[in-house]
């Protein structure tokens, strides 16, 4: 079957499945079966090569940030925008951009990849640069152990041909430098004053923090402070400060990662002014802190995938003045073992209480809240009913929903059916 024919077929499949509403990779599967070499061949046409971003938390948001920072420098960027970070999702995204001859109009590809899928991807397509964000307890029912996840990230690093950017403050990620033989290494890091906001999984009720040792590594970008929405970074010795639209300390630390990677890619020709201007405008990615307006009140969706992510979300977004809903599913993409809820503290929700608890495992969540003595107004496992009830019972209040991945997809579908919803970010 000749190549242009494959591209057209794939595009037709993509068009038909576009209605599914996010996270679709069926067209990619289709191309994968007919033309397995498609990804490698298409990406090899890019002058500045391929960049892979991986890790437990923050992939989608950081990828989006890197894309916007690079675009501010005039680069044409291809990315797997819809957050479908399995190999199939990359193929699907490529189909959407490729012309009928199989060429993409881009300078560079920035790809967010799930850790397990990245391993086979990089063997097929070695990236020029990679950014490894963190290793956390997440979906252990898929990966089995944190060390196994760290090993996957090490494989990505070893397959990288030029520079690897590592999180200095995550011991397992920083340790990857030790297995690299020829690649350049760059770090992003935190000021010691902020380190206490990011406990890693060992520190959570276990060994005490070991930040002192890591601080001696020189980091290309360091997040120095975040006060009232203004972030300060040290970037290659220079101080960079800007107000941000991004909220939450973990998002701002992801921005440090994005700055480090952008710096490595663009190098000396970096236009700092345009970079900072772009940084100031960045908003969270799909499903990671979107806000809609419904009935004149903002409703925020906050994705929670693992204990550290949930903890950071709770400390980043103060509950006062908001009606809070929590939606917990246990599908494959959400994590099937409910143990993870017990590694999150919910005391911060005691004063305001929780208005609504929903999802397939609503009662596991309610049970969790009971043991932290947090009062709950309503529990309803059915997401559609719970959402309606949450909105009507809290009509005069700004609202926030903490949700796992598939519950977020379901909630977004429900919200899009409500004609009175306006998406603002």
Q: Under DSSP, is residue 131 helix (H, G, I), strand (E, B) or coil?
A: strand
Min dist CB 288 to another protein, Å, is 23
Contact between 43 and 50 (Cβ < 8 Å)? yes
C-alpha–C-alpha distance, residues 84 and 28, integer Å: 11
For the bound state, the minimum distance from the C-beta of residue 329 to another protein, rounded and expressed in Å, comes to 10
Of the pair 3, 363, the CB lying nearest another protein is at: 363
Q: What share of the chain is helix, strand, coil (3-state, %, to 5)?
A: 45, 20, 35
Residues that bind another protein (CB under 8 A): 137, 140-141, 144-147, 201, 204-207, 307, 330, 336-343, 360-364, 366-368, 370-371, 379, 381
146 versus 301: smaller Cβ distance to another protein:
146
Q: Tell me the closest approach of the beta carbon of residue 379 to another protein, in angstroms.
A: 8
Greatest Cα pair distance, the chain, in angstroms, is 64
Complex with another protein: residue 140 or 415, whichever CB lies closer: 140
Residues 6+ apart with CB under 8 A from 320: 351, 352
Instruction: HSE, CB side, 13 Å, CA atoms: give it for residue 289.
Output: 21
Supply the minimum distance, in Å, between the C-beta of residue 308 and another protein. Answer: 13
Nearest distance, CB of residue 339 and another protein, angstroms: 3
Non-local (6+) Cβ contacts of 274 within 8 A are 72, 73
Contacts of 279 (CB under 8 A, 6+ apart): 65, 69, 242, 244, 255, 259
**Closer to another protein by Cβ: residue 114 or 201:** 201
Question: What is the C-alpha separation between 44 and 61, in angstroms, rounded?
Answer: 25
51 vs 140, beta carbon nearer another protein: 140
Choose between 32 and 170: whose C-beta lies nearer to another protein. Answer: 170
DSSP 8-class letter at 282 = -
Residue 303 CB, shortest distance to another protein, in Å, is 19
Q: Which is nearer to another protein, 49 or 307 (CB)?
A: 307
* Nearest distance, CB of residue 365 and another protein, angstroms: 9
Q: How far is the CB of 196 from another protein (least distance, A)?
A: 19
Closest approach, Cβ 202 to another protein, in A, equals 9
Give me the helix-helix angle, 3-17 and 87-97, nearest 10°: 100
CA distance 379 to 153: 39
Q: With respect to another protein, which residue has the nearer C-beta, 281 or 337?
A: 337
Q: How far is CA 78 from CA 40, 60, 82, 137, in A?
A: 14, 14, 12, 30
Q: With contact defined as beta carbons under 8 Å apart, do 165 and 186 qualify?
A: yes
Shortest Å, Cβ 371 to another protein:
5
The Cα 169–Cα 230 span in angstroms is: 22
Within 10 angstroms of residue 297's Cβ, the number of other Cβ atoms is 16
Sign of CA dihedral 401, 402, 403, 408: positive
By beta-carbon proximity to another protein, the closer residue of 129 and 340 is 340
Distance CA 93, CA 32 (A): 13
Q: How many helices (H) and strands (E) does the chain have?
A: 16, 15
Nearer to another protein, 339 or 416 (CB): 339
């Amino acid at each position: 079957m000749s190549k242009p024919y494959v591209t057209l077929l794939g595009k037709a499949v993509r068009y038909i499945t576009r209605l599914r509403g996010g996270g679709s990779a069926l067209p990619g599967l289709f191309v994968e079966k007919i033309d397995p070499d498609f990804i490698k061949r298409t990406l090899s046409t890019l002058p500045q090569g391929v960049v892979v971003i991986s890790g437990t938390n923050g992939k989608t948001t950081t990828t989006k940030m890197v894309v916007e920072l690079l675009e501010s420098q005039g680069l044409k960027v291809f990315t797997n925008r819809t957050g479908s970070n399995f190999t199939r999702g990359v193929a699907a995204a490529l189909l959407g951009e490729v012309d009928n001859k199989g060429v993409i109009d881009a300078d560079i590809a920035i790809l967010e990849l799930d850790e397990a899928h990245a391993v086979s991807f990089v063997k097929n397509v070695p990236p020029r640069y990679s950014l490894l964000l963190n290793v956390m307890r997440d979906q252990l029912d898929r990966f089995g152990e944190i060390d196994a996840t760290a090993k996957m990230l090490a494989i990505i690093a070893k397959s990288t041909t030029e520079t690897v950017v590592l999180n200095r403050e995550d011991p397992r990620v920083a340790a990857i430098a030790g297995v690299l033989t020829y690649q350049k290494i760059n770090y992003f890091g935190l000021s010691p004053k902020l380190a206490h906001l990011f406990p890693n999984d060992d520190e959570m009720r276990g060994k005490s923090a070991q930040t002192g040792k890591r601080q001696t590594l020189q980091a290309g970008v360091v997040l120095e402070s975040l006060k009232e929405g203004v972030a300060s970074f040290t970037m290659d010795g220079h101080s960079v400060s800007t107000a941000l639209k991004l909220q939450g300390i973990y998002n701002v630390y992801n921005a440090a990662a994005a700055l480090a990677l952008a710096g490595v890619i663009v190098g000396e020709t970096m236009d700092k002014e345009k970079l900072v201007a772009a940084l100031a405008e960045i908003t969270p990615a799909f499903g990671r802190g979107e806000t809609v307006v419904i009935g004149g009140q903002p409703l925020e969706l906050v994705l929670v995938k693992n204990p550290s992510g949930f903890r950071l979300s709770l400390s980043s977004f103060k509950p006062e003045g908001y009606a809070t809903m929590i939606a917990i599913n246990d599908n494959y993409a959400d994590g099937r073992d409910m143990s993870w809820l017990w590694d999150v503290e919910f005391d911060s929700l005691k004063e305001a209480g929780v208005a609504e608890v929903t999802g397939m495992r609503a009662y596991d969540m309610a049970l969790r809240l009971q043991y932290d003595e947090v009062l709950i107004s309503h529990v309803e496992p059915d997401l559609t009913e719970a959402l309606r009830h949450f909105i009507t019972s809290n009509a005069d209040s700004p609202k926030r929903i903490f949700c796992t991945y598939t519950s977020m997809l379901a909630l977004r579908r429900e919200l899009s059916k409500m004609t009175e919803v306006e998406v603002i970010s």
